[in-house]
Structure 1
Amino acid sequence: MSLLTVGSVAFDALETPFGKTDKIIGGAATYITLSASYFTPTNNLVAVVGDDFPQSMIDTLVSHGVNVDGLQIRQGEKTFFWSGKYHNDMNSRDTVEVQLNVMENFDPIIPDQYQNCQYLMLGNTAPAIQHQVLKRLTNRPKLVVLDTMNLWIEIANADLKSLLKDVDVLVLNDEEARQLTGDYALVRAAASIRAMGPKTVIIKKGEHGALLFHEDRIFAAPALPLEEVFDPTGAGDTFAGGFIGHLAKTDDLSFDNLKRAIIYGSAMASFCVEKFGAERILNLTQDEIQARVDQFVRLSAFSVEM
């Protein structure tokens, strides 16, 4: 089934205990679409870049089957840029520099050929922009997945809560779930979020896995223990891409398949952290992905003898 992703395509400059980069391709929509490309053949993108964004990077997206008809290129303007430095524990980071550039006035234009998308991934941008996308779609998608962050919970809370009424799945981390609800207990926080609109809530817990809340059921997905985490940038977006990519491929929204989608998303995220930026997820094979999923299965499989 067709997938539409709306979000940022950007430049990142990264520094971790393992080294540093100059400007490399980044942005939420970049990671989401690259990750989803391993699952669904109809992978549409709406984003904006400046005329400083290299054609070679656009070609990289196209080579992965991403339809870039919805990628605006603003002449005379610069692409969104983020620079960050990670601490030794790799769980915390400092933002060194942010240049909003074209994202400051991003107006998401939906091409006609995207209008009948069945699956919509609203990558992390301002809630007002995300809501605009929904309003501009002629037909409501079968599934709308929303990613957000602590910044929008803090400065655009009313816009975010209005948007939540119109989405099916909310993806956020544990700190953000607590911030949004004011409740430290994640089970209660998820229930509060579901009361705001989303039928399904996914709470990411970094190196401790992810929690899926759907109706009255909960699924806890493990994180794969890795010897080294090289660069966690984009891991959450890569997770989201694997998650919605699997759902778009299978067109099955049952609880059991949501659980499988969580595992596929987690597998994709585990690849992402192994190298800088999106480098690791550019050249995966289906055999590699399935082998990584099998690792997740073995990690949590057990039997009970009575």
Structure 2
Amino acid sequence: MSLLTVGSVAFDALETPFGKTDKIIGGAATYITLAASYFTKANNLVAVVGGDFPQEMIDLFVSHGINTEGLQIKADGKTFFWSGKYHTDMNTRDTLDVQLNVMGDFDPVIPASYQGCEYLMLGNTAPAIQKQVLDRMEKRPKLVMLDTMNFWMDIAMDDLKAVLPLVDVLTINDEEARMLSQQYSLRKAAAIIMEMGPKTLIIKKGEHGALLFQGDRIFFAPALPLEEVFDPTGAGDTFAGGFIGYLASTDDISFENMKRAIIYGSAMASFCVEKFGSERLVNLTEKEIDNRVLEFVSLASFEIR
């Protein structure tokens, strides 16, 4: 089934305990669509970049089967830029620089060929933009998934609360779940957040795995213990891309299939952190992905005597 992703395509400059980069390609929609490309062949992108965005990266999207008809190129503008430095624990980071550039007035135009997409991934952008996308869809998708962050909870909480009733799945991290719900217990937080609209909630816990909530049902997926983590940038977006890409490929939105999608999303995220930026996501093989999923299965399976 077809997937539409709306979000940012950007330049990042990163520094971790393992090294640093100059400008590399980043942005939520980049990670989401690259991860999803390993599952669904109907993979559509809506984003905006400046005239400084390299054609070879657009060619890379196309080589992964990503439809770039909805990628706006503002020739007289510059691409969104973010720079950050990670602490030694790799869980905390400092933002060093943010330049919105063409993202500052992003108008998400949905091409006619994208109308009718069954799955919609609203990447982390302003809630007002996310709602605008929904308003511009001629037909409601079968499943709408939204990612957001604490920044929008600080400056646009009313807008966020207006869009939450319109989505099916919300994905946030544990800090954001507590902030949105004003509850410390993640189980209590999940119940409150699901009352705000989304019937399904995913709480990402980074190196500690992910929780899936739907009604009274809960599923926990562990994170894979890796020998080396070079760069956690984009891991959450890669997770989301693997999750919704798997759902779109199977066209099954049951809770049982979402449990499988959580594992596939976690597997894709585990690849992402092994190199800087999106580098590890570019040339994965089906065998690598299958073997990584089996590692997750082995990690979490046991018998009761």
TM-score bucket (shorter structure)? over 0.9
CA distance in 2, matches of 1:281, 1:55: 19
Q: Which residue in 1 is equivalent to 2:261?
A: 261
Q: Secondary structure at the match of 2:233?
A: coil
Corresponding letter in the other structure for 2:178: R
Q: Which residue in 2 is equivalent to 1:85?
A: 85
Q: Which residue in 1 is equivalent to 2:123?
A: 123
How big is the alpha-carbon RMSD for the aligned residues of Structure 1 and Structure 2? 0.4
Q: Which residue in 2 is equivalent to 1:156?
A: 156
Q: Secondary structure at the match of 1:104?
A: helix
5 Å matches for 1:154-233? 154-233=154-233
Q: Which runs of 5 or more structure 2 residues have no equivalent in the other structure? A: none
Runs of 4+ in 1 over 4 A off after TM superposition: none
CA distance in 2, matches of 1:214, 1:195: 11
Corresponding letter in the other structure for 1:167: V
The Cα shift of 1:111 comes to 0.1
CA distance in 2, matches of 1:231, 1:121: 23
Q: Which residue in 2 is equivalent to 1:30?
A: 30
CA distance in 2, matches of 1:65, 1:10: 19
CA distance in 1, matches of 2:73, 2:281: 24
Q: Which residue in 2 is equivalent to 1:290?
A: 290
TM-score by length of structure 1 reads: 0.99
| 1:54 corresponds to 2:54 | yes
CA distance in 1, matches of 2:189, 2:240: 20
Q: Secondary structure at the match of 1:165?
A: helix
CA distance in 2, matches of 1:82, 1:145: 24
Q: Which residue in 2 is equivalent to 1:6?
A: 6
CA distance in 2, matches of 1:302, 1:145: 32
Aligned-residue sequence identity (percent) comes to 75
TM-score by length of structure 2 reads: 1.00
Corresponding letter in the other structure for 1:118: E
Q: Which runs of 5 or more structure 1 residues have no equivalent in the other structure? A: none
Q: Which residue in 1 is equivalent to 2:239?
A: 239
* Cα-to-partner distance string for 1:218-270 (whole Å, 9 max, x where unaligned): 00000000111100000000000000000000000111100000000000000
The Cα shift of 1:216 comes to 1.4
CA distance in 1, matches of 2:155, 2:96: 20
* Cα-to-partner distance string for 1:144-171 (whole Å, 9 max, x where unaligned): 0000000001110000001001000000
CA distance in 1, matches of 2:63, 2:93: 32
CA distance in 2, matches of 1:45, 1:133: 12
CA distance in 2, matches of 1:179, 1:303: 37
The Cα shift of 1:41 comes to 0.3
CA distance in 2, matches of 1:61, 1:128: 27
The Cα shift of 1:62 comes to 0.8
Q: Which residue in 2 is equivalent to 1:41?
A: 41
Q: Which residue in 2 is equivalent to 1:94?
A: 94
Q: Which residue in 1 is equivalent to 2:75?
A: 75
Q: Which residue in 2 is equivalent to 1:65?
A: 65
Q: Which residue in 2 is equivalent to 1:270?
A: 270
